[in-house]
Amino acid sequence: MRGPINILRLLRTGATFERTGAMEVALDAFRAPRPLRLVLRGLVWPFRWLGYAGDPSTPPVPRALTALGPAYIKFGQTLATRPDVVGDELALQLRVLQDRLPPFPTALARAEVARELDQPVEALFGEFSEPVAAASIAQVHRARLRTTGEEVAVKVLRPGIERAFRRDVDAFRFAARLLDLFVPATRRLRPLDVIAHFESVVRGELDLRLESSAASEFADNTADDEGFRVPAVRWGYSGRRVMTLDWVEGINAADVEAIRAAGHDTSLLSRRVLQLFLRHALRDGYFHGDMHQGNLKVDAAGNLVAYDFGIMGRIDEYTRRIYAEILIGFIRRDYLRVAEVHFEAGYVPADRDVYAFAQALRAVGEPIFGMDASRISMGRLLAHLFEVTERFGMQTRTELILLQRTMVVVEGVARTLDSRMNIWDAARPVVEGYIRDSLGPKAFARDLAKSAWILARFSPRLPELARTALVRSATPTPAWRPGLLLAALYMAAGAALGLLGVLIATVF
């Protein structure tokens, strides 16, 4: 029965898009061919009355998604991180999608907390307020611990939200299969992959233990960052459907006048928010993937306080080094080096012309560097860079798309605090410091020592590997010789690497 039910759900979705005017915008964003447009609109138009009207004061696509409910709002937010799929213009609209819904009753929230933590709310909290914020997946209450009197923020999932998401994701997957099967032109967008990515994001957000873990890891990584705070997780008051963090008073980062009135230096905060983001991405490889004003506050001491850890980005060490070299190459306007880095990383196929690629990169960088400082945008640079690399055969890398999207959001926060800030001047010391630490002699020594350690760990297994090679060898020549030679080479290489690592570390 899921097929017919999903068809009805999709029909209502299409009717809502048609009624709100979102259908045309979405079809333009996906560059749908004319025959497909005619078929879709012809199928949906007679059932337009089934659609929800939505809030006419919002743009068409956010209006439709908000009217359709939590799963659609979250899907829109996820697509906002994928301008490679929906295009820059629609991604910009989706970023302003208001993730605000009417709160559910406090009595239900209290029941959810009691069920999850196996104790009545009165036994856990001396105070438990009405909702102070409500979003598509959960809402937040201000509370006071009964044992210590400390104030905390208690995040509670909406009742039945898991079932609602499973139902809607099933409909999304059904639609993606239909597109993949009957509309070959959409296969370049990989609709099934997009739904799988969305499902993985939502699955993480529907288990608040994972978000608590993300907040805890982020707090550990940033504990020594001056001017930055992450509220501590109260594990004893957290579970799958409930997360409790320390309550931190502060001014929303969007309220610039209030921040200035409190005596804080908005120029300093502007540089700080950008530099902290780059430091987290490059130094730790783990960054806040939704760092907009609504998830940032400024406390009484002038610290930036981050919230909402449902979307976090992770980049491996090798990719971080490549990203840093690309950024510093643009900062120094060394376009040939930027091109070479792309080829060395395998991002661009080796059969392409590195000099033609460097020339294309110059066309990206020079117009931006010719702008007034207040208009220079690293996010715009990354967007143009991905356009060029795609033309030269680079495959889309999801982690870099999230990084680019977050960079645009962080720039927006920084510009709000200080419209005259020079993005490149703020970024340069962080990027150069990372390159010095990760690509210099000390980093080379660390890499050698790490390689030696890995070889040393596997060296006891080398005789076994040699015997296995001997047994499996089907050649008439003795197989023990290459096996033992391989073992000897591994052990010699490990010893040499270890010695060289120690020597370099001693010198530097």
Residue 422 has pLDDT above 90, yes or no: no
Residue 269 has pLDDT above 70, yes or no: yes
Higher per-residue pLDDT: 120 or 401: 120
Nearest Cα neighbor of 75 from 208, 246, 194 is: 194
Average pLDDT, the chain: 79
Our measurement of the distance from residue 405's CA atom to the centroid of its chain's CA atoms, rounded to an integer in Å, reads 8
Residue 138 has pLDDT above 50, yes or no: yes
- pLDDT tens column, 309-323: 988 888 888 888 888
Catalytic residue, candidates 84, 99, 168, 290: 290
Coil/strand/helix, residue 142: strand
Do 177 and 192 meet the contact criterion of CB atoms below 8 Å apart? yes
Higher per-residue pLDDT: 65 or 263: 263
Q: How confident is the model at residue 177 (pLDDT cuts 50, 70, 90)?
A: confident
Q: How confident is the model at residue 245 (pLDDT cuts 50, 70, 90)?
A: very high
Residue 502 has pLDDT above 50, yes or no: no
User: Above pLDDT 70, what percent of the chain?
Assistant: 72
- pLDDT tens column, 202-235: 777 889 999 999 999 999 999 999 999 999 999 9
pLDDT for 476 equals 53
Residue 507 has pLDDT above 50, yes or no: no
Q: How confident is the model at residue 508 (pLDDT cuts 50, 70, 90)?
A: very low
CA distance 116 to 134: 19
Question: Is the pTM here over 0.85, yes or no?
Answer: no
- Domain positions in the chain are 1-98, 100-247, 255-439, 441-507
Higher per-residue pLDDT: 187 or 365: 365
Rounded average pLDDT over 455-478: 63
pLDDT for 186 equals 60
* φ, ψ for residue 436, nearest 5 deg: -60, -40
Coil/strand/helix, residue 460: helix
Rounded average pLDDT over 43-60: 77
pLDDT for 116 equals 95
**Pairing between β-strand 138-145 and β-strand 151-157 as defined by DSSP bridges:** antiparallel
CA distance 269 to 85: 33
Dihedral sign (CA 482, 486, 487, 491): positive
- pLDDT tens column, 319-364: 888 888 887 888 788 999 988 988 888 888 888 889 998 998 888 7
**Highest-scoring range by mean pLDDT, 160-164, 262-266, 385-389:** 262-266
Q: How confident is the model at residue 81 (pLDDT cuts 50, 70, 90)?
A: low
Coil/strand/helix, residue 164: helix
Query: CA 320, 209, 220 angle in degrees (round to 5)?
Result: 45
Q: How confident is the model at residue 480 (pLDDT cuts 50, 70, 90)?
A: very low
Sequence-ordered list of residues with C-beta below 8 angstroms from that of 230, at least 6 positions apart, any chain: 215, 218, 219, 222, 305, 306
Q: Is 193 a catalytic residue?
A: no
- pLDDT tens column, 370-396: 665 566 666 666 666 767 776 777 666
* Residue 105, amino acid: P
Coil/strand/helix, residue 150: coil
* Residue 115, amino acid: R
CA distance 216 to 124: 22
